[in-house]
Structure 1
Amino acid sequence: MNLKTSYSLIAPFYDAAVERATRAARRRSLAALPGDGERILLAGVGTGLDLPHLSPAPRYVGVDLNRPMLRRALPRAGKLDFAPVQGDVQRLPFTEAAFDAAILHLILAVVPQPEHCLGEIARVVRPGGTVIVFDKFLRRGQPALLRRLANPLARRVASRLDVVFEDVLATVPQFACEDDQPALGSGWFRLIRLRRH
C-alpha cells in the first residue's frame, strides 16, 4: 500500500487520532514563525490541523499528496489567505525562493525520502528564511529496538519510525539548526527551527 492510498483510508480518522495529542506542541512550534513572512508553505498540510493556529496576515500555500486530506483542510482555513495544492513534497511544484518560511509538521518521518523533502524545502525557501519542524526522530546511535522492529509495517501504513534528523539535515547544507527542543514522547517528538543560508 502506498502513502496516497493509506492516507486516503486514514483521512476520516486522522484528526481524532492526532489533533488533541499534538495541539499544544503545534502551537509552540508555530510560535517560532517569523512575524514578517509574507508567503508561507505548509508542506504536508494534511487535514489542516495547523491552520487554526496561524496568524491571518501572511499568504499560505498548503501542499499535500492526498486530495481527501486537502478537502478536510479547507474548512479549517477560515479567513486565512490559503491556497491548497495537491503535490508531492519530495518534488514541489514551485520556483526557487518562492517562500519566506515553511512549516514541516509530521511530514519528514512520513515521506519515503526525507532528504529529498528537506532538499526541496531548501530550494523553495528564500535565503534567510525560517523552517520549523515538528516530528518524531531517533537520535544518532539510539537503539530504540521496538521502533525499529515496528518500522517495516508502520512505514507502509502511515509513518516511518527510524528517521534520524541529524542524518537528514547533513544532506542539506543550506540549513543551519537554530533550535531543537523535546516536544512529546520523552523527546521522541521534537520542535526544530532551521535557518536557510
Structure 2
Amino acid sequence: MSLKHTYTLWAPIYDLFVDRALRGPRRRSLARLGEVAGQEILLPGIGTGLDLPYLPAGGRYHGVDLTPAMLARARSRADQLGIEIGLHEGDAMALPFENDRFDAVVLHLILAVVPEPARAFAEAVRVARPGARLLILDKFLRPGQRAPLRRMINPVISRLATRTDVIFEELLAGHDELRLVEDTPALAGGWFRHLVLDKI
C-alpha cells in the first residue's frame, strides 16, 4: 500500500490519534520560530494542519502534503482559523520549490513517515536559504540505541503509519552547511525530540 493511499485512509481519523498528545510539543516547537514578519515559511507534510493554531502571525506560510484528503482538512482548518496559507500537493522527498527559497522549514512528524528520510531532509535543506532555521519534531532512535521492540515492529508499522527506526544523526551526516542549535527531549522519554538547526 502506498504512503498516499495509507494517509488517504488515515485522513478522517488522523486527528483523533495524533492531536491531543502532541499539542504541547507542537506549540513549543513553533514558538522557536520567533519573529516571522515577512518571512517565507514551509511546512512539508502539513497533514491535516495541526500546526496551524500555533503559527506566529506575520509569516507567509506554505504547506505541502502528498495526500489531497489531508490537504482538504488543512484548508478547512486554515479557513476556520482565518490563516492565509498556500497549500500544495507534493512530495516531501521532491519539493516543488526552487533552491534557497524559505526563511524557515518546519519538519513536524514527517521524517519518520516518508520512505526515504534522508531524501526528505536533503530537500528541506535545499529549499532553505542560507541563514534559515529548520525546526524538527519527530521520533528518532539514538546512534547505537538497540531499541529491539521499535526495530522489530518497524516493518509492520511503517506500512501503516510511521517508521520507528530513523536515526537523526544519520540524516545529518554530510550536511556541513547545517549547525545544530538545539536537541532536547519533547515526549516519550526523549524518543520524540525537538531539533533546531541553522543553515550557514
**Interval containing the TM-score (normalised by the shorter chain):** over 0.9
Shift in Å, 1:134: 0.2
CA–CA distance in 2 between the matches of 1:138 and 1:14?
Answer: 24
> Is contact 1:118-1:172 (8 Å) kept?
no
The equivalences for 1:89-108 within 5 A come to 89-108=92-111
Shift in Å, 1:55: 1.7
Shift in Å, 1:141: 0.6
User: What's the C-alpha RMSD, in Å, of the aligned pairs?
Assistant: 1.0
Equivalent in the alignment of 1:119: 122
Q: What amino acid is aligned across from residue 51 of structure 1 in structure 2?
A: L
Equivalent in the alignment of 1:30: 30
Shift in Å, 1:171: 3.7
Gaps of 5+ in 1: none
1:140 to 134, 138, 143: 143
Equivalent in the alignment of 1:183: 186
TM-score, normalisation: structure 1: 0.97
Secondary structure at 2:171's aligned position in 1? helix
The equivalences for 1:56-67 within 5 A come to 56-67=57-68
Equivalent in the alignment of 1:47: 48
The equivalences for 1:79-98 within 5 A come to 79-98=82-101
Equivalent in the alignment of 2:74: 73
1:23-82 CA-partner distances (Å, limit 9, x unpaired): 000000001114146110001000000001112211100000010000000122232220
Equivalent in the alignment of 2:17: 17
> Is contact 2:31-2:56 (8 Å) kept?
no
Label 1:171 to 1:2 Cα distance change in 2 as closer, same or farther (>3 A): farther
Equivalent in the alignment of 1:162: 165
Identity %: 50
88-97 or 171-180, which deviates more: 171-180
CA–CA distance in 2 between the matches of 1:14 and 1:172?
Answer: 33
Secondary structure at 1:162's aligned position in 2? coil
CA–CA distance in 1 between the matches of 2:175 and 2:110?
Answer: 16
2:155 to 149, 152, 155: 152
Q: What amino acid is aligned across from residue 60 of structure 1 in structure 2?
A: Y
CA–CA distance in 2 between the matches of 1:83 and 1:89?
Answer: 15
Detail structure 1 runs of 4+ shifted over 6 Å in the superposition: none
Secondary structure at 2:56's aligned position in 1? coil
Shift in Å, 1:168: 0.6
1:104-152 CA-partner distances (Å, limit 9, x unpaired): 0000000111111111111111001000000000000101000000000
TM-score, normalisation: structure 2: 0.96
> Is contact 1:106-1:136 (8 Å) kept?
yes
Shift in Å, 1:175: 1.4
CA–CA distance in 2 between the matches of 1:175 and 1:157?
Answer: 32
> Is contact 1:40-1:100 (8 Å) kept?
yes
Label 1:9 to 1:108 Cα distance change in 2 as closer, same or farther (>3 A): same
**Count of paired positions:** 197
Equivalent in the alignment of 1:192: 195
